Amino acid sequence: MSIAEYQSQKKPKVDNYLTHNRGFLSWALTLDHKRIGLLYMMFVLSAFLLGGTFAVLLRTSLLTPNHWMFPSDPAHDTQAKLFYNNMFSLHGAVMVFMFIIPAIPAILGNFMLPMMLGAKDVAFPRLNLMSFYIYCLGAILFTWILMGGILRTAFNIHLPFGFGLDTGWTFYTPFSTSKAEDGMVAGVLGAFILGFSSILTGVNFIASIHTLRPRGMTWFRMPLFLWALYATSIIQVLATPVLAITLLLLIAERLLHVGIFDSSLGGDPVLFQHFFWFYSHPAVYIMILPGMGVISEVISVHSRKHIFGYNFIALSSVALALLGFLVWGHHLFVAGQSNLVDSIFSLLTFSVAIPSAVKVFNWLGTLYRGSIRFTPAMLFAMGFILLFTIGGLTGLFLGALATDVPLHDTYFVIAHFHYVMVGSMVFAFLAGMYHWFPKMFGKMCNPAWGRFAAILLFIGFNTTFFPQFVMGAHGSPRRWATYPVEFQPYHVISTIGSYIMAISLITVALNWLAGLLWGKKAPANPWGGNSLEWHCPSPPPYDNFPTPPVVDDPYNLAAWEYDASIEGWVPRKSQPAAATGPAANRTRPVTH
């Protein structure tokens, strides 16, 4: 026989969403939600790399009280501080707008939402693709402006239109409207464009969950990840337009001098903060809610136990979304907000801790008497629970008026939000990626390296950010390029921690790459989950389900049993009694 015939005999033809059609255009113009999720993944992870690189650079520059990266004469002092301002602006802006807000919804949400609904795609696939291209456009513009500033201030390299942004990601007036660098208008335009990507994704998800749920899947039979995405989408749809108008007003102020925020023209700078934080506070719930959804899935599946308190977790997601809109004033406590409104917002801020606490208790209740497997996903999830608790509790210090006054704009705030954004959200993102990696790519990652990376990241993260709580409580201000010499030990420990984090994240990346290239073939259900995405092959075929899946309680893990021959889970032939419902929480966990 010919060589071609021989080769076609050896390898069976594989048809999944990755191989279904080939060529650049089949990816660039794809309407398949799974491919769009992967396209997002490339860009979002690149943004993470960019923002993370600058985080390490920032920490490195803070090793000494005077920025050692530049010669120490007065002329270079100014330039060095400008460089520092550009660096933390880039780090914050890239991480917030280009990484955290899209990460879980655009990657894991796009991939898993239709599959968890047993559907073939999201409600509006073309809108989905448009969201992606809007994201690309905004990301490219934003990055260009920000990197241009870095290159100019550090190396005197002038990119065309590379103006730079030195206001921090919060663009506060009056600095941003009068004295900030010329990159303001273009940079803010980039953020404006990125916002639309977020809005359209939210529209898509809400419509999908309302109209594509299969018969038998009532609201309270959805996986909790979908509840989390639904709550996130509500916030995206309601809050992001206010950011859009804020940024437009900022551009108008800067270009036309309209006098809305500029006090020398009759405007009110505090009004800008009201406008900005009305979006940006709910935005932090856009960041954390999908992560909480991932954790609900991972904790349940990897401890072989039905989720504890399903109704409470589901409703607390929506409660968090709605309550998150009532507390934005806590960012303005020392900005000149009136005493009356200060008190109102402080009181409301305490209420927003309640739904989060409800979830933490329910996750702990799920872990209790579960059969815990220390997979990488589970390790990240457990890290999440601890770090989110710390982050959330330190938020209460900042929500109480009296303690906020000395702590505002110090390293305490930085530590607080990094505990919730990195310690919680990034950990959740990594947990989700490890959990769904086999489904997305059909390969298994080496778990030993994954566990190593999780533990190393936990150590590195705490080393980096715990000293910052102490620094902040001692009064060290944030966003300062230099600092009094007595804070140096904290900064050095923090910087060492950041290097440990960098190593662990590189380990994660290599772990994934190795899994993609040389990983074992993944079974359809490697972890034994029961939500619908596990009912199809790994990786899924082009239209998700060869036969329509059967709708069941997504946490009925007893429906699966372990099959050592494929190192995966298969449907159990005989159903044990009382496998679902309240009794499930009191039975011993299902073992294989």
Partner 1 sequence: MSTASTEVSAHSHAHGPGHHDPHLAHHFDTPEQQFTSAKLGMWIFLGTEILMFGGLFCAYSIYRHNHPLVFKFAAEAYLSTKWGAINTVILITSSLTMAWGVRAAQLNQKKLLISCLVMTLMGAAGFLGVKTIEYSAKWDEHVWVGSWNKYNGDNDASYATPPPAQPTTQPAIQIPVPAYSPTAIADDANTGLDVSQIKPRYAYSFNQSIQLAPPKRASDAKPTDEEQRDERYRQLSASDQWRVNTFFSCYFLMTGLHGIHVIVGMGLISWILMRTLRNDFSSEYFTPVDLVGLYWHLVDLIWIFLFPLLYLIH
Partner 2 sequence: MSLTHSNDIPAPVADDVGPDAPHGVHAVPRRTLAGVYGLLILFTVITVAVSKVDLGAANIWAALLIAVIKGGLVTMYFMHLRWDSPFNGLILIVALFFVSLFIGLALLDSHSYEPQMKPTPMYVKTQ
Q: Note the Cα 136 to chain centre separation in Å.
A: 17
Q: Which of residues 171-190 bind partner 2 (CB under 8 A)?
A: 174, 178
Contact 307, 443 (CB under 8 A): no
Site stretch for partner 1 (CB under 8 A), options 360-368, 396-404, 409-417, 542-550: 542-550
* Residue 121, helix vs strand vs coil: coil
* Residue 90, helix vs strand vs coil: helix
Site stretch for partner 1 (CB under 8 A), options 58-66, 134-142, 354-362, 574-582: 574-582
Among 7, 178, 338, 343, binds partner 1 (CB under 8 A): 178
Give 260's contacts (C-beta < 8 A, 6+ positions apart). 249, 252, 253, 267, 268, 271
415 residue type, one letter: A
Among partner 2, partner 1, none, residue 12 binds (CB under 5-8 Å by kind): none
Residue 549 engages partner 1 in binding (rule: CB under 8 A): yes
Looking from the CA of 465 toward its CB, the CA atoms found within 13 Å total 24
- Specify burial of residue 182 (Cβ count, 10 A radius: 0-12, 13-18, 19+): middle
Residue 479 engages partner 1 in binding (rule: CB under 8 A): no
In whole angstroms, what is the distance from residue 445 CA to residue 513 CA?
9
Residue 256 engages partner 2 in binding (rule: CB under 8 A): no
In whole angstroms, what is the distance from residue 80 CA to residue 67 CA?
7
Among 543, 567, 588, 592, binds partner 1 (CB under 8 A): 543
Among 73, 266, 547, 586, binds partner 2 (CB under 8 A): 266
Residue 266 engages partner 1 in binding (rule: CB under 8 A): yes
Among partner 1, partner 2, none, residue 340 binds (CB under 5-8 Å by kind): partner 2
Residue 21 engages partner 1 in binding (rule: CB under 8 A): no
Residue 422 engages partner 1 in binding (rule: CB under 8 A): no
Q: Which of residues 200-239 bind partner 2 (CB under 8 A)?
A: 210-211, 219, 238
In whole angstroms, what is the distance from residue 491 CA to residue 503 CA?
19
Closest to partner 1 by CB, 239 vs 454, is 239
Site stretch for partner 1 (CB under 8 A), options 58-66, 241-249, 396-404, 507-515: 241-249
Q: Which residues of 49-58 are buried (b: 16+ CB within 10 A; e: fewer)?
A: ebbbebbebb
Classify 273 in phi/psi space as left (phi over 0), alpha (psi -120 to 50) or beta: alpha
Residue 341 engages partner 2 in binding (rule: CB under 8 A): yes
Closest CA to 46 of 126, 121, 103, 127: 103
Beta bridge partners of 561: 570
Site stretch for partner 1 (CB under 8 A), options 17-25, 36-44, 50-58, 259-267: 259-267
Q: Which helix (H) or strand (E) holds 569?
A: strand 568-571
Q: Three-class SS string for 317-330?
A: HHHHHHHHHHCHHH
Among partner 1, partner 2, none, residue 181 binds (CB under 5-8 Å by kind): partner 1
Residue 340 engages partner 2 in binding (rule: CB under 8 A): yes
Residue 318 engages partner 2 in binding (rule: CB under 8 A): no
Among partner 2, partner 1, none, residue 531 binds (CB under 5-8 Å by kind): none
We find the least distance from the C-beta atom of residue 264 to partner 2, in angstroms, to be 4
Residue 315 engages partner 2 in binding (rule: CB under 8 A): no
Among partner 1, partner 2, none, residue 550 binds (CB under 5-8 Å by kind): partner 1
Q: Which of residues 359-418 bind partner 1 (CB under 8 A)?
A: none
Closest CA to 331 of 347, 352, 345: 345
Q: Within 10 Å of residue 244's Cβ, how many Cβ atoms?
A: 18
Residue bearing tokens 């856009």: 286
Query: What is the total count of residues that contact partner 1 (CB under 8 A)?
Result: 83
Residue 23 engages partner 2 in binding (rule: CB under 8 A): no
Phi, then psi, of 446 in degrees rounded to 5:
-70, 115
We find the least distance from the C-beta atom of residue 230 to partner 2, in angstroms, to be 13
Task: Transcribe 281-329 into DSSP letters.
Answer: HHHHHHHHHHHHHHHHHHHHHHTTSPPTTHHHHHHHHHHHHHHGGG-GG
In whole angstroms, what is the distance from residue 456 CA to residue 474 CA?
28
Residue 337 engages partner 2 in binding (rule: CB under 8 A): yes
Closest to partner 2 by CB, 32 vs 342, is 342
Residue 258 engages partner 1 in binding (rule: CB under 8 A): yes
Contact 313, 231 (CB under 8 A): no
In whole angstroms, what is the distance from residue 397 CA to residue 395 CA?
5
We find the least distance from the C-beta atom of residue 253 to partner 1, in angstroms, to be 9
Compose the 184-223 pattern: x for residues touching partner 1 by CB under 8 A, - for all others. ---------------x--xxx-xx--xxx-xxxx------
Among partner 1, partner 2, none, residue 409 binds (CB under 5-8 Å by kind): none
Q: Which of residues 72-131 bind partner 1 (CB under 8 A)?
A: 74-76, 78-79, 82, 114, 118-125, 127
Under DSSP, the state recorded for 535 is: G
Phi, then psi, of 410 in degrees rounded to 5:
-110, 180
We find the least distance from the C-beta atom of residue 338 to partner 2, in angstroms, to be 3
Residue 180 engages partner 1 in binding (rule: CB under 8 A): yes
Site stretch for partner 2 (CB under 8 A), options 57-65, 127-135, 324-332, 364-372: 324-332
Q: Within 10 Å of residue 336's Cβ, how many Cβ atoms?
A: 10
Among 2, 156, 311, 339, binds partner 2 (CB under 8 A): 339
Site stretch for partner 2 (CB under 8 A), options 78-86, 337-345, 397-405, 421-429: 337-345
Closest CA to 268 of 337, 341, 327, 328: 337
Residue 78 engages partner 2 in binding (rule: CB under 8 A): no
Contact 379, 455 (CB under 8 A): yes
In whole angstroms, what is the distance from residue 173 CA to residue 192 CA?
17
Among 156, 311, 339, 591, binds partner 1 (CB under 8 A): 156
- Residues in contact with partner 2 by CB under 8 A are 174, 178, 210-211, 219, 238, 242, 263-264, 266, 268, 270-271, 274-275, 278, 325-326, 329, 336-341, 344
